[in-house]
Amino acid sequence: MDRNQVHRQVALMRQSFFDQGFLDEQFIQLEELQDEANPNFVEEVVTLYYRDSTRLILNIEQALEKSPLDFNKLDCHMHQFKGSSSSIGAKKVKSECTQFREYCKAGNGEGCMRTFQQLKKEYAILKKKLETYFQMARQAGPKEIACRPKPKLDICPDLEKNYVGWIPSRFRYTFSF
C-alpha cells in the first residue's frame, strides 16, 4: 500500500470512531494539543489512560465483590474512572460509567454488575481500535501532523494569532474535560 493510501485509511478509521460513537470531541481537543514540540501527544495520553485505568478498574472490581455493596464507594470509584475516560473522549465508556452511577444511586447491585461487564467490553474494544489506529498513523508518517491546521485555543473570539491588544475584562476560558 502506498503512503497516500495509508493516509486515507488512517483518516477513514479516525472518522469512523466519531461516526460510530466511540470517541467524542474531547479527542479532537487532544489532537489540537499535538504539535511539532509534542508530536506523539495523543498516543501518549491514551497510553497513559489505559495504563492508569487498570488500577481504577481493579478498585471497582474489588468493591463489587464486597457484601453488602457500598454504593457510595462504588460511585466514588466510578466518578474517578469516568473523569479519566472523559479526558480522552471515550464516549461509549463514559456512557456506561454514567449508567453505572445511576444504578449506584438506585442501589441496584445487579444493574451495577451488568453495566460494569458492558463497560469493560467497550473499554477493551476501544483499546484495540486505538492501538491499530496509532500503529497505522505511525506507518503513515508525519504527513498527518503537517496537514492539520494550526490549532487555536477556544478562548476570547477577539484573540487572533497573537496576544497583543487582548482585553482581560472580556476574557473567558473554556476548558472541557
Partner 1 sequence: MNRDQFPVGMRVLAVDDDPTCLLLLETLLRRCQYHVTTTNQAVKALDLLRENKNMFDLVISDVHMPDMDGFKLLEHVGLEMDLPVIMLSANGNPKLVIKGITMELAIIY
Interface with partner 1 (CB under 8 A): 30, 33, 38, 41, 44-45, 48-49, 52-53, 76, 79-80, 82-84, 86-88, 153, 163-164, 166-168, 173, 175, 177
Beta carbon nearer to partner 1, 1 or 167: 167
- Residue closer to partner 1 by CB (options 41, 114) is 41
Angstrom distance (rounded) from CA 138 to CA 135: 5
Distance CA 33, CA 40 (A): 10
Q: How far is CA 73 from the centre of its chain?
A: 24
Instruction: Provide the minimum distance between the beta carbon of 82 and partner 1 in the complex, in angstroms, as a whole number.
Output: 7
**Residues 134, 131: Cα–Cα separation, whole Å:** 5
Task: Compute the least distance from the CB of residue 171 to partner 1, in Å.
Answer: 8
Give 20's contacts (C-beta < 8 A, 6+ positions apart).
none
Query: Could you give phi then psi for residue 160, rounded to 5 degrees?
Result: -100, -140
Cβ at position 1, least distance to partner 1 in Å: 32
Taking the complex as a whole, the smallest distance from the CB of residue 36 to partner 1 amounts, in Å, to 13
